[in-house]
Amino acid sequence: MSLLVVGLSHRSAPVSVLERASLAADQQTKLVQDSLAAEPATEATVLATCNRIELYADVDKFHAGVAELSTLLAQHTGVGLDELTPYLYVHYEDRAVHHLFSVACGLDSMVVGEGQILGQIKDALALGQELHTAGRLLNDLFQQALRVGKRAHSETGIDKAGQSLVTFGLEQLAGGTPVADWAAGRRALVIGAGSMSSLAATTLARAGVAELVIANRTLDRARRLAESLTGLVAGGDASDAPREAGAAADRRLIARAVPRDRVPAELPYADIVVSCTGATGLVLTADMLAEALDRRAEHRAEGVAGPGAAETVALLDLAMPRDIDAAAHRLAGLRLVDIESLAEAAATVSDQPTTSAGPMAADVDQVRAIVSAEVAAFGAAQRAAHITPTVVALRTMAADVVAGEIARLDGRLPDLDERQRAEITQTVRRVVDKLLHAPTVRVKQLASTPGGAGYADALRELFDLDPQAVAAVSRADANGTRPDGGVGRPGAAAVQTDPKRGRA
């Protein structure tokens, strides 16, 4: 069995294709289930974010696996296979591990170093666990990816180099002005109450907006978010404000929740609008925005808008597919930043020359070194774990041989007392253990090296081990059950070495 990932992201596909290829939660579930039903796959899960969709699977056939997973992606996204194929990338075995670890560290993100991807990797693992489609390999892989990502953020300065997509989007809207200065005193409307919307709301609150309205289909969820932010002071919470400073009270945030159908009524009063929902259609149409601008102009003429109202309404669309009509770009008085423009801005930033001595470049290099070391360690552990069932089966066979010989001895020497019998049994066991110790330790060491998978086959052949006995140990290990009847952490699945690499 071998790890295979087939996917597309902002690095391989235009946003227009990514938008069409996005999957709702129920579609992701069906994709994973169908992937497991496909013959080449024994484990599967999907990593889906606003700028990537990747299908991870443990397969026993490389070419068949690529063909099947590519076809399933096309079927479930609704993008024709012929159209989708040029944008797909394929990673296999160690390269697949390297890819996921790089993703976990933020090296493959639209904004290098952003940490939100860790939550999305955790969601992908949880999906596989919930559907029982993530077995020994994917559990170990994704759990290790989370640890590698956390290590990169704790041991390097990649956090300084990277930002969240929310922060990057707000910086684009601010146009070079510090976000805190740009947002201070403004009214903000956040549509949605999921993880990205919650991050946007918190970021705006800490940036100093005067009022924050959270609109969501589920009102209770919006209320909980609003309650958690009410009273927040720019840069901290209300308790951070100096009690003697009367101006501190003015900085305290007013946050409230409304149902999503109230969005048209709230739009004319909003200076900043952030939308990130799971809606399949547009949340804000061009007509809705044009009407809001007309009402906003009336309010400004009547003095209802307030002294802090901005001349231009800033729109940030973080949804995939988009929430805000792209035609908003043509409306005077609006500025729209969406995933497509963020991708262009991120590409511009990444194309700017940096010296290897620069802080960001040094952090990125350090993270890359961490990823490379972790990939090597993971591969060695996988290869070593592959031989464990064979070693256990060998020791079990040896124990059976000892038990059989002691039983024969009892028949030939029935007059042995318990002490004598126990001493003979212990002596025979020590001899067998000493004979097996060096070769089993050495074969584990050899198996952890590249190309070492064949040592398990050699051991089975030399000792004529029953394949069913080895398979039984593997099944017990995959279920977290030790051969002695105890329960332990599921072991790592085998990763066979194969030279095949490529793109779909």
- Strand boundaries in 82-140, DSSP class E: 89-92
Residues comprising the chain, all counted: 504
What is the rounded distance in angstroms from the CA atom of residue 320 to the CA atom of residue 277?
Answer: 8
Residue labelled with tokens 């597919």: 321
Q: Which two tokens stand for residue 154?
A: 């704790």
Q: Which two tokens stand for residue 74?
A: 């096309």
Report the 10 Å Cβ neighbour count for 18.
26
In DSSP notation, 387-412 reads: HHHHHHHHHHHHHHHHHHHHHHHHHH
Backbone phi, then psi, for 319, in 5-degree steps? Answer: -90, 155
What is the rounded distance in angstroms from the CA atom of residue 118 to the CA atom of residue 104?
Answer: 6
Report the 10 Å Cβ neighbour count for 419.
8
Note if 50 is an active site residue.
Answer: yes
The catalytically annotated residue of 8, 50, 110, 385 is 50
What is the rounded distance in angstroms from the CA atom of residue 50 to the CA atom of residue 120?
Answer: 10
* Count helices and strands in the chain by DSSP H and E runs: 20, 10
Among 320, 300, 273, 283, residue whose Cα is nearest residue 173: 273
- The CA-CA-CA angle for residues 337, 209, 233, to 5°, reads 135
Bridge partners for 259 per DSSP: 216
- The CA-CA-CA angle for residues 143, 144, 149, to 5°, reads 100
Residue labelled with tokens 């759990």: 143
What angle separates helix 62-77 from helix 25-37, to the nearest 10 degrees?
A: 150
In DSSP notation, 405-451 reads: HHHHHHHH-TT--HHHHHHHHHHHHHHHHHHHHHHHHHHHHHHTSTT
Reported as type and span, the H/E element at residue 337 is strand 334-337
What is the rounded distance in angstroms from the CA atom of residue 214 to the CA atom of residue 473?
Answer: 53
Q: Cis peptide before 321, with omega less than 30 degrees from 0?
A: yes
Are 53 and 77 spatial neighbours (Cβ–Cβ below 8 Å)?
A: yes
Say which amino acid occupies 422. Answer: A
Residues designated catalytic: 50
